[in-house]
Amino acid sequence: MVHVPYKGSVPALTDVIAGRIPVMFVDLAPSLQFIKNGNVRAIGVSWNTRVPQLPDVPPVADGVPGFEAVAWQMLVAPSGTPKPIVDRLHAKLKSIEAQPQFKEQVAKLGTVPVDTPSVAEMQAYVKSEIVHWGKIVEKSGVAMD
């Protein structure tokens, strides 16, 4: 494959639909409606398990053991934010995400709702992702300026 940079998922999806590029990796949210409409065909999901919105699409890891590349979002605050405020924000986020209507809306938008881990677990995850993807960038030979 040849990497073709785009200024967003939708322009790239438009080119897949038009046949100008043959394949792409894309987040579920911008592609879900195109998949459901039959404009593009999902070949695999980059989670290590199937996703609820596309139960018939296998994980890439079924053919490439250990493969996982997932997009995720998080709520962040400046590094100097006092711990009581961080804890309050985290607790509020947990209470919101526990509501069924929140989970339904998240799923409709094409994301997979997951339970928010503790602040410490999230910080450890971010650090591990930096190391993981840093090694991949290093192996690829891509110059980082």
C-alpha 128/C-alpha 123 separation (Å) is 9
Same domain for 90 and 144?
yes
Pick the closest to residue 69 from 129, 9, 115 (CA basis): 129
Same domain for 141 and 80?
yes
Residues of the chain with pLDDT > 70, as a percent, come to 98
Given pLDDT bands bounded at 50, 70 and 90, which one contains residue 125?
very high
pLDDT at 115: 82
Same domain for 107 and 58?
no
Same domain for 67 and 82?
no
DSSP string, 39-64: SS----BSSSS-BTTBTTSPBGGGTS
How much is the average pLDDT of 123-137? Answer: 91
C-alpha 135/C-alpha 144 separation (Å) is 12
Same domain for 52 and 83?
no
Same domain for 55 and 79?
no
Last residue in a domain, options 52, 71, 90: 71
* Residue range 67-116, pLDDT digits in tens: 888 888 888 899 999 999 999 999 999 999 899 999 888 888 777 777 88
Same domain for 82 and 57?
no
Please give the mean pLDDT across all residues of the chain: 89
Given pLDDT bands bounded at 50, 70 and 90, which one contains residue 144?
low
Domain range holding 22? 1-71
Work out how many domains the chain is built from and give that number.
2
Same domain for 142 and 77?
yes
Q: How many CB atoms lie within 10 A of CB 136?
A: 10
For residue 61, what is the domain's CATH number? 3.40.190.10
Residues of the chain with pLDDT > 90, as a percent, come to 58
Last residue in a domain, options 71, 96, 130: 71
Torsion of CA 110, 111, 113, 114, to 10 degrees: 160
Torsion of CA 113, 92, 73, 34, to 10 degrees: 40
Last residue in a domain, options 71, 102, 127: 71
* Residue range 23-43, pLDDT digits in tens: 999 988 889 999 999 999 999
Q: Residue 11: which residues within 8 A CB-CB, separation 6 or more? A: none
